[in-house]
Amino acid sequence: MVWKKGQKPEQYLFTITEEFATDWKILKQRAKKNNQNISEVLRDSVNSKNEYSRKKKALVLSPHTDDAELGCGGTIAKMIEEGWEVHIIYFSAVAERYPNLVEEAAKSSKIMGVTHEILDFYTRFFPRDRQDILQALYDHSKSIQYDVVFTPTTTDIHQDHGVVTEEAKRAFRNCTLLGYELPWNNLTVSLNCFIPLKERHIKKKILALDCYDSQKHNPYFNEKFFRSVVKMRGIQLASDFAEGFETIKVRLDQII
C-alpha cells in the first residue's frame, strides 16, 4: 500500500481495512486532543498495528547439532505452536566424525518446524575461532531483529559452548538472551526463568532428538533422561513439565 501524492489521509485510511475505517473517528478525536496532525496519528496507529501483528522471532544458537533440541526443544515446539518464527544456527556438524549429522539436523529441524543453517566451525576449536564466530553472529544480528535469543548458559563448561555464549552477549545487545541448560555440561547452574510445557511439547522434543542416530551412544541420550530433566523443572514450576533458563539479559519493553 502506497500513500499516493495528493491523496488525503481519509482516502488512504479507508483503503487499508474496514477495521481502520471504524477507528477513524477515534483517531480524529485523538489528533484534536493532542493537538497533532491527523497524518502523524494515522502513521503511529499503522505502525503500532504492524508491530502488534508482526510474528515474534526467536533464534537458537546451537554450538553443535543437537544442542538446541537438547536444551530447549520443548520450548521451540511451544513457540512454533504459538506462531513464532524460530531459526537455529548450528555452528558445527562434526562431519569428519559423523558424516550423517548434517542430514540428521535437517530432519530434526523439519520435525520441529524451524528454519536452520549449519556453519562449518571446527568442533573443540571455537576458542581459536572466537573472532570469526563473533563476526558471524554480529552479521546475523544486523540482518534480523529477534525478540529472544537462546544460547547455552554462562556456566556451561564446554569450551565451544562458552565461546558462543560470550560472543552472543556482544552480538545481540538489543534483545532478550536466555541460557539453556545441558546438565552434563553444567556443574553449577542458576536457572531463574522457566517455560511451562505440556506432554505434546515433550513428545515433539523427543521426536526431534530421535533423528540423531549418530549421537545415541552418549550416556545422556535417552528418553528417560530427557523426561527426568523436564519433569524436575516442571515440579519446580508447579507445572506438568518445563525447561529452565538462565536470564542472561531481559529486554523488558518486549514484555511490558
Pick from 63, 71, 162, 234: which binds Zn ion (CB under 5 A)? 63
Least distance between Zn ion and beta carbon 63 (Å): 5
Q: Which is nearer to Zn ion, 67 or 104 (CB)?
A: 67
223-236 vs 199-209: helix axis angle to the nearest 10?
Answer: 150
The answer to whether 179 contacts Zn ion (rule: CB under 5 A) is no
Pick from 60, 64, 72, 85: which binds Zn ion (CB under 5 A)? 64
C-alpha distances out from residue 36 to 31, 43, 116, 135, Å: 5, 12, 45, 44
Please identify, among the stretches 35-43, 58-66, 88-96, 229-237, the one whose residues bind Zn ion according to the rule CB under 5 A: 58-66
Q: Are 134 and 170 a contacting pair, CB within 8 Å? A: yes
For residues 105 and 90, give the distance between their C-alpha atoms in angstroms, rounded to a whole number: 9
Q: Are 186 and 157 a contacting pair, CB within 8 Å? A: yes
User: What nine digits make up the cell of 74?
Assistant: 520443548
Please identify, among the stretches 64-72, 101-109, 125-133, 165-173, the one whose residues bind Zn ion according to the rule CB under 5 A: 64-72
Closest by Cα among 224, 246, 203 to 73: 203
Kindly report the length of the chain: 256
Q: Which is nearer to Zn ion, 165 or 176 (CB)?
A: 165
Please identify, among the stretches 65-73, 199-207, 214-222, 241-249, the one whose residues bind Zn ion according to the rule CB under 5 A: 65-73
Please identify, among the stretches 1-9, 57-65, 88-96, 100-108, the one whose residues bind Zn ion according to the rule CB under 5 A: 57-65
Phi-psi region of 55 (alpha: psi -120 to 50; beta: other; left: phi over 0): beta
The answer to whether 67 contacts Zn ion (rule: CB under 5 A) is yes
For residues 229 and 122, give the distance between their C-alpha atoms in angstroms, rounded to a whole number: 29
The answer to whether 181 contacts Zn ion (rule: CB under 5 A) is no
Q: Which is nearer to Zn ion, 138 or 184 (CB)?
A: 184
Q: Which is nearer to Zn ion, 16 or 157 (CB)?
A: 157
Question: What is the binding site for Zn ion (CB under 5 A)?
Answer: 63-64, 67
